[in-house]
Structure 1
């Protein structure tokens, strides 16, 4: 489906039946990051979304024409995942997902890879500030990251 207008995108709470579509968005987004190591298979992505993310986090999806084009997952003030299908970026959908996920939160926190310049600009535009940098020894990818925080 080709993007046409952000107005046609609706946000809703994810259900377990959304797991395959959410895993697909995750996969498409990660594959578009040429610097990101490829650590998991599509089946592992699906298991992660189905068995870990959906049961333990609050997940909101962005849907256009019956297709999930993005999602955000939060838990206890931590923004753990925010991904869009690459062809849907730059249309305000990520901002809508971010605001839906953090509305009313006193403080929101997230980690972002230092190499992900686009994501870093996005979070900084939405009021997040870098509060700590690390060499990446605590993340699975082993990539340098940055801790962002935003006070509500």
Structure 2
């Protein structure tokens, strides 16, 4: 759980540096221990014996997908996403509008943009985008 929280924070802060520090490491660990691991199916990808990426999903939703910056663009995120796609016929997820790397990744994986918001409903108050994938 601690390693999943570490991967999340490193990837998040790299992609969205203006939101860095939104949570402390202790808060991240609590979130993974008490929320993610209790409510989601969680899978990890390892490189050299260390956790390099995580995905957490539940019925119809991808809640978390984070890949360490140094492990990105090697297919790790795609492999993890395939696990969720095999489990469900329809998946949704949220990402931030100002995260073009994530948006390109999800669009390249067959997700379609279905909604954009002003961010009023997320804790960072950052405009976000909801994506949808359905099995062809």
Stretches (4+) displaced over 4 A? none
For the residue of structure 2 that corresponds to 1:95, the secondary structure is helix
In structure 1, which of residues 14, 21, 29 is the aligned counterpart of residue 11 of structure 2? 29
Structure 1, unmatched stretches of 5+, are: 1-18
SS of equivalent residue, structure 2 residue 5 = helix
Q: In the TM superposition, what are the counterparts of 1:85-104 in structure 2 within 5 Å? A: 85-104=68-87
TM superposition shift of 1:146: 0.7
- Equivalent residue number for residue 105 of structure 2: 122
1:62 paired residue number: 45
Partner of 2:134: 151
Between Structure 1 and Structure 2, which shows a larger proportion of helix residues? Answer: 2
Query: How far off its partner does 1:56 sit?
Result: 1.1
Q: Give yes or no for the alignment of 1:47 onto 2:27.
A: no
Instruction: Name the counterpart of 1:76.
Output: 59
Taking structure 2 as the reference length, what is the TM-score of the superposition? 0.94
Structure 2 CA distance, aligned partners of 1:37 and 1:141? 10
Structure 1 residues 23 and 80: alpha-carbon distance in aligned structure 2, compared to 1, 3 A threshold: same
TM-score normalized by the length of structure 1:
0.85
Instruction: Output the CA distance in 2 between the equivalents of 1:37 and 1:25.
Output: 14
Q: What is the SS of the residue equivalent to 1:122? A: helix
Give 1:95 shift: 0.4
Kept in 2, the 8 Å contact 1:60–1:101? The answer is no
**Which residue of 76, 91, 114 corresponds with 1:131?**
114
Quote how far apart the aligned CAs of 1:37 are.
4.5
